[in-house]
Amino acid sequence: MKIVVDGMGGDRGSEEILKGISLALNEIPDIHIIVVGKEELLKKIIKKLNIDNNRFEVVNATETIEMDDDPVQAVRQKKDSSLNVGLELVKNGIGDAFVSAGNTGAHISASQLKLRRIKGILRPAIATVFPSKKGNFVFMDMGANADTKAEFINQFAIMGSEFAKDILKKEKPTVGLLNIGSEEGKGNEVTREAFNLLKENSSINFIGNIESRDMMDGKVDVIVTDGFTGNMVLKTSEGVAKFIFETLKEEIMKSFLAKIGFIFMKKALKKMKNKLDSSEYGGALFLGLNGISIKAHGNSDAIAFKNAIKVADKFAKNKFVEKLRTTFEEKEKNI
């Protein structure tokens, strides 16, 4: 598989991205990486890190879309940006998947412009894997659609179910609608309408509403919501996890007995930290497009980039886009 990586996106700079690429090359023996960005800069870092060039190449892009750029304008005006050039490679079949930690809005805009939606899909959505007591679940939309219609959420459930079946190997994934209460009839106009559509959708295994406090209980395989709510939940979860571990560290350092206890708890706490660490789950997929486009966290370190590349490789090898396209083609025939 050929994975295209945006060498200029992300908060930590190109060196961290290239370190992640090096890790991915070591872990995945049959992968080939195309890194896109300012060639002179990237080649200096590659030489410094001594990265194996046999399964690795650089494609030049003279422009960079910055984090504070207006997403739509930047995609239109910076034609030779690493984001545009990288997605063009996937569009033309030169690469099998694209990974970037850059400007999220620009990434969404460029992905839709270059890869286009699968026929029958009203809106693409950002989906990722979340940890739970019983493994993982698919959560979407995480920010692609701040203003969402009930019909979009209904399709998110179909796409999320295919994700859970194909990638998480859930035979008959359960679907829940994120809401302010578990009872039918709760929520605003969009969630109430979405509930009715999901209940009537024979393509999914809908089990009803789920409250945010119950998301990680492991009872649901796919949770759907609008992009505004989903993004808020994601960032709140990251903030809570960070707060817990920072507070725990502070309290341990205050007490000698706590330090002793930490020695015996260290292994268990490390496992817990890894389970809650977003970098362990790689990146989020733009579901619904005619190509694989992965959004890594803006603050991704080398390990997070490596895992994002592994996610892209897994989706490409499983031919996920082709399977999703077939699902919606069959739905169109049955209408």
Phi-psi region of 170 (alpha: psi -120 to 50; beta: other; left: phi over 0): beta
In this prediction, residue 272 has a pLDDT band, given cuts at 50, 70 and 90, of low
Confidence of residue 262 (pLDDT cuts 50, 70, 90): confident
pLDDT digits (tens, 9 = 90+) for 163-205: 999 888 998 999 999 999 999 999 999 999 999 999 999 999 9
Tally of CB atoms within 10 A around 307: 23
The secondary structure of residue 216, as a DSSP letter, is: G
Task: Give the pLDDT score at 132.
Answer: 87
* pLDDT tens digits for range 133-151: 888 899 999 888 888 999 9
Q: The whole model's pTM is what?
A: 0.87
**Mean pLDDT confidence for 239-243:** 85
Q: What are the residues whose beta carbons fall under 8 Å from the beta carbon of 82, sequence distance 6 or more?
A: 6, 7, 8, 9, 36, 37, 38, 61, 63, 64, 65, 100, 102
**Tens digits of per-residue pLDDT, 63-91?**
999 988 999 999 999 999 999 999 999 99
pLDDT the model gives residue 330: 79
Domains of the chain listed by start with CATH number: 1-118+288-320 (3.40.718.10), 122-279 (3.40.718.10)
